[in-house]
Chains A and B, each alone.
Chain A
């Protein structure tokens, strides 16, 4: 005990103006002063590097300080938190701020408008109907593609759940769609669906006769997009479910076989509890991804036949029409929906809540 306290007291914090590598207070002071000077005097692209260098200085001082005083946890975690802060959390807060201003990236003016952007995108006579229909379409796409992916992914996982000859080589075939570029696979799906040259039309025309056009109606266009999306991403669900199936201890099945339990019962009382969490995880990830659905729609329909999704709509508003702050408001509405859905899933997935 005596020894411990002597070791600790040997590492007292340095005084404010003492020049030592672990004097983080001095580093913060110098960093703030130099950054402020740089921001005032230099153009943005120059002051960025000065501020970056100062942040590095402060970070180095913190790191030396943490190492000398054995705060290993903080030292190890800090770089990850820093990168996430600069690239994700800071832009997120910026975006939140922008949503309260009237701002267009091609104009110089900026004006505080409070909640007006939110009110506009939700209720305005000109802007709102497009947003609402895109949102409803997205919800419909999410329900269709996620359920299709869950079913196909689950069935594929059941097929691969046993060890059999050549399993490794067949598994990679099923995983390949996930590795394709959405651009290429999307463009090739337009070929498969093409009324004149496409394979699908060729088969249907030669069987049924007459011209068959897949993407001609809303139902057809939605089905076409859902099919392509589900084909690409079912393997992801399969990977998750398969990992769960592999984790079921074999002796449970052996015990069930001795007791002559029916296959249906065996699935619900042995297999399902092991994969329930992973099914939830897959459902969560795929639903979040479904809200990002844009590139496939751009390639397949360009939003025609009433297949505009909210993500594609947002790209158009923010990037092509330069309505930056309106776009930010829409992104926060999407974010709000995703957070509500995430918590709903987590609530349902939590076994404690399920019992009640």
Chain B
């Protein structure tokens, strides 16, 4: 018994929080389940490196290698990187020259809109969370509940007035409009998540700094903020996941210059009456998945703690 525990500690696995430890047997079971769960995504990634002609072959081609003869030859295809190139530039009309598809612009739009709105919500929301946590107002809980309610509302309820409002003031199709709108939708959970992080800090250090004559601004930036960096990271990733793939508002409120990838992807694969271009769609989605996948991977420990909106206390 003691032998096994020391072995785990020796290779670097320690019990974290209340989690018990399990061995490689659990790893094997979970690996099989996770792999099956991941299969539809894997198929999309493999389609992205398929030659275009094989996308709709019967029987379907499944894998770029035969895994040492494990997979019969009829299901194996030769991988290619052409699809990724044709995301950005391809022949649009029969017999013509390759043209730019504008996808470099759409990727740029997606990155700008998603990160700007999440950062804006993070700045405003963190200030508000700090206020709710340290200087409670009269009716503090009511304000907090109203803020949470804005997240509960079906987005569809506000979409008609937002379209009318944006048309009236000329914000339709601009960066500012969609960024502000996404920021508002991200604010609710930003405030709740960040408040839970601020609530957990001990106020002793802050009080000591105040007695030593630090201004309130200095207390916030020098003492509180450095302690919640993990919380900021978790909130950022969570907001990114929710904003990155948003389709409905982007479809109705972005113009040709500010179009995001999900909208452009929808148009690229269904236009021209040629039916869906499977390998192209898969290549776009695979490229589009990379940033949010990496962000989630590196911040997943914080994410796990952040998603509970402060309902779980350590």
Name A's B-contacting residues (CB within 8 A): 44-45, 48, 72-77, 79-81, 83-84, 86-92, 94-95, 98, 105, 156, 159-168, 170-185, 187-192, 196-199, 202, 231, 239-240, 242-250, 253, 277-278, 281, 284, 288, 291-292, 294-295, 311, 314-315, 318-319, 324, 327-328, 331-332, 334-335, 338-339, 342
Check: B211 CB closer than 8 A to any chain A CB.
no
- Complex Cα distance, B285 from A324, in Å, reads 34
The residue that A184 contacts in the complex, of B29, B44, B248, B307, with Cβ under 8 A, is: B44
The residue that A75 contacts in the complex, of B24, B131, B185, with Cβ under 8 A, is: B131
Q: Which residues of A contact B127 (CB under 8 A)?
A: 76-77, 79-80
Q: Which residues of B contact A278 (CB under 8 A)?
A: 308, 311-312
Query: Quick check: which of B82-90, B97-105, B146-154 contacts chain A, the rest being far away?
Result: B146-154
The residue that B248 contacts in the complex, of A89, A180, A248, A294, with Cβ under 8 A, is: A294
Name B's A-contacting residues (CB within 8 A): 11, 13-24, 26-27, 29-31, 33-35, 37-38, 40-41, 43-44, 47, 56-60, 124-125, 127-128, 130-132, 134-137, 143, 147, 150, 152-165, 168-171, 180-181, 183-185, 187-188, 191, 216, 241, 244-245, 247-248, 252, 261-262, 265-266, 269, 276, 278, 281-282, 284-285, 288-289, 292-293, 296-297, 300, 303-305, 307-309, 311-314
19 contacts across the A-B interface (CB closer than 8 A): A44-B170, A73-B135, A80-B125, A159-B26, A163-B13, A166-B27, A173-B38, A182-B262, A183-B265, A184-B282, A192-B40, A245-B19, A247-B313, A247-B314, A250-B18, A278-B312, A295-B248, A332-B157, A335-B154
A45-B183 contact in complex given A88-B158, A188-B40, A247-B18, C-beta closer than 8 Å? no
Tally of A-B residue pairs with Cβ under 8 A? 305
The residue that A171 contacts in the complex, of B20, B125, B300, B311, with Cβ under 8 A, is: B300
- Complex Cα distance, B313 from A175, in Å, reads 23
A94-B165 contact in complex given A166-B31, A173-B38, C-beta closer than 8 Å? yes
Q: Which residues of A contact B155 (CB under 8 A)?
A: 292
Chain A's closest residue to B291 (CB) is A179
Q: List the 8 closest A-B pairs by CB distance, nearest first.
A: A76-B131, A73-B135, A87-B184, A91-B161, A80-B128, A48-B169, A184-B285, A45-B170
Chain B's closest residue to A312 (CB) is B156
In the complex, the answer to whether A246 meets B13 with C-beta atoms within 8 Å is: no
- Complex Cα distance, B24 from A167, in Å, reads 10
